[in-house]
Structure 1
């Protein structure tokens, strides 16, 4: 019988039979078992995204990143001047040094921050192709404050509380610009909703020019509920709206405890947030201009609030 003959040349060599054999120990059954979920791209050494800084958010939309890289000479040196937390300064090998590069290296060395020389292609990879100009700063995950911390910060000043709340601002550049304006015009803190909002990423750090380290940024689980809590504590809630109930010129509330609420780039204030406002204000503009960018509008209003408070302080 074929395969059973003991004639030379007719016998199959041991170990050459395909498929399961006697005494396999159930290897075929084990081969059918799953090996678990596929690791994420940044966790697989062979993947192009391995070790690339991530920008995830926690608590719905504010997951902490494993690291953030701020790219560009001006943003890096400004963040180092502001003494934001940092873990490493990456400098491209052979970079053409100028005053900003020299100052960044000196500031990093003075603070005990690691200064690492890397090739330009490696720096391109680390910054995901951003315009780094041969310089990048690695910062740890941003530590958000609790909403109660904002009023505690206000209590330490002689001025009435001034807070800025963002309702659905999803562009990190707008977030960074609002934080910069808030710090410039004396606000005590910035309040973000937990959902549908940008977080403090490298882009926001860069746009804020390091001011995110100078002013507390808190996250509210429910923005509408938090605004009502602030109102119960004596703060007036004013929302920016193109069809506001009053114009900015009539903002007499500016000298008292105040929360300025800035809506999203597209739809503006949400219905529930608008209902939580004591008033809505519009910015007078020339004919033919429909609206301003969210961060620009916030800056205009905060500048007016600061002006009114200065005037009130002199009288």
Structure 2
């Protein structure tokens, strides 16, 4: 093969392909088609050169050009760190932010129910006797409630708390599969548990100890549970009111949003578990322990508001970048 003649005949094709690759972000539809066609043609040229020539420089140039064209045609792999960064700066916070009114509703409902039930338990000796004997209540109030946070090594306790909290959040998300119908029941169960403990502690004048122990980790922990409940309820509502989109598209998008929240809450509940294991039972003054919990809660909410609002303004939904359920239609 006359390599000089081969180069002279095909150089314009190679130059054109190189031009299209350099400007791939601004190509028209016809130019995209041309890019694909030239990529295939130059790939054939590379095969011919490799089999019929020993010109290393030409082989290297065509190999590099074909590799760049392949990335332009098929899409380059997004580095893992970029996917990780996008998840925590876009996907998770924007889903949480878009569910903020459901989130607030779950929070208000939980607090109202827990407060009402706690007051009922604290003010009614008959209710207290139905829950436990006076001796058992004394044991709980004087010893068991506080000892729970320090009776096990901190590291193993943190792991156990993390698993337990993750399971509670998972129940909320699993409830989304059933149109969110079980979620109010799960919230009620958790509100009742908090109310019973708080009510019994209040009945013996130990409400300061109750809030001193539950506030540091409970703020972040319950916020995570309320967020899980919110996105689950929102998914259930999407079945009833999908908005301007087709119901299947809306459900698919919200279903992926639920998965984003599930992965994000793994980190949030891990932080909550660390606080419960290392801060709640620590020898720090009560005000210092509560301050740590408040700071963790404020930091999480500020993170969601800042990144979530920014993503909403950028018209992000938190969905995957190439959603498989969406297809262009005329």
TM-score between both structures, scaled by the size of structure 2? 0.21
Q: Quick one: higher RCO (CA 8 Å, sep 6+), 1 or 2?
A: 2
Larger strand proportion of the pair: 1
